[in-house]
Amino acid sequence: MDKTVNYSELFSQLLDNEGNFNNSMLTFLYYMFPRDLFIRALSLLESNDMMIYILEEAINNDNSVIAEAQRTATLADESNSAKNTITSTNTTEDDKQGAVPPLNATIPIVTDSLGENNPGEIEYMNGLLKDIYNDDDYQLLYRLIVKSDNEPPIYVDLKDWTCSCSEYCELFSHEIFSNEGEKKDVDSAIQDLLVTEIDDIEEFKDDRIGQLDAHSFSKQQYFKIDKIMCSHLLAYSILLRSSMDILKYFVQKKSNVLLFRITNIDEWLKLHINIIV
């Protein structure tokens, strides 16, 4: 992969002005990534298996662009609030408001039509998506999880560029063990192997794909995504690090990616127990 490429910019051009897929860009990206990675990532984005769990309690602060919208939504018609809350419909937990949906549940998601009668809810959801999209410094608490019918769920973390899938583990092991013995200090060896640092501010890049520690003003760090990339990391990168239009397309317009709002810390902790078990 070309190090001068701005992947965020390329991914942001996946949709044309009418909101349809740009065939030229699809073809270009297909040939850009090895092992059919791009096609697999795109299939994943359309599979309804990708989920974002977000702890709403953590975003209720004055810095949040959705704070005001959240207050507006709270004031919205109470009778509408039940149907606008994302809850499981096919479990015994139905009666528990805000219950954490099981990973294998078929769950209604946030769509444009869902909030048609509730402008506050639409405004709130737009704000929530904007906050998630702009969360370069990972101030929000959210988990990226890909469910699978027969396999354990896969956990994806853009912050540290990690994934629990076997492809990631194999690529990571290959990078580490094939370079074993070159350096005695394991930590610095891994850092040198897998992370590119840019300390010259004039060489800073706008690319958000694979970027680590985006909060730093003195240097940029990028994971070497050409060495370790799986379809899950690529799919979530396209979703969360390219453009708001892409994020809205898959979450709101197509309802392919499920967004679960967790309303309190107890349910958030239950989610983690659910994942671990």
Question: Under a CB-based contact definition with an 8 Å cutoff, are residues 230 and 40 in contact?
Answer: no
Please tell me what DSSP assigns to residue 260: E
CB 152, min distance to Zn ion, A: 12
CB nearer Zn ion, residue 143 or residue 248 = 143
Residue type, 121: E
CB nearer Zn ion, residue 165 or residue 239 = 165
CB 251, min distance to Zn ion, A: 20
- Asked if residue 230 binds Zn ion (CB under 5 A), the reply is yes
Token duo for residue 29 = 């990206």
CB 271, min distance to Zn ion, A: 20
CB 73, min distance to Zn ion, A: 34
- Asked if residue 168 binds Zn ion (CB under 5 A), the reply is yes
CB nearer Zn ion, residue 48 or residue 111 = 48
Question: Under a CB-based contact definition with an 8 Å cutoff, are residues 66 and 87 in contact?
Answer: no
Token duo for residue 158 = 């853009």
Q: Pick from 209, 157, 196, 205: which is nearest to 10 by CA? A: 209
CB nearer Zn ion, residue 163 or residue 194 = 163
CB 176, min distance to Zn ion, A: 17
Question: Under a CB-based contact definition with an 8 Å cutoff, are residues 261 and 54 in contact?
Answer: yes
Select from 114, 158, 163, 229 the one that contacts Zn ion (CB under 5 A): 163
What are the backbone dihedrals phi and psi of residue 122, each rounded to the nearest 5 degrees, phi first?
-65, -45
- Asked if residue 234 binds Zn ion (CB under 5 A), the reply is no
- Asked if residue 146 binds Zn ion (CB under 5 A), the reply is no
Other Cβ atoms within 10 Å of 45 Cβ, number: 23
Token duo for residue 252 = 């709101």
- Asked if residue 232 binds Zn ion (CB under 5 A), the reply is yes
Please tell me what DSSP assigns to residue 236: H
Where does this chain touch Zn ion (CB under 5 A) — which range of 81-89, 160-168, 210-218, 261-269? 160-168
CB 243, min distance to Zn ion, A: 22
Helix (H), strand (E) at residue 146: strand 142-146
Select from 51, 100, 145, 165 the one that contacts Zn ion (CB under 5 A): 165
Token duo for residue 133 = 């999209």
What residues make contact with Zn ion under the rule CB under 5 A?
A: 163, 165, 168, 230, 232
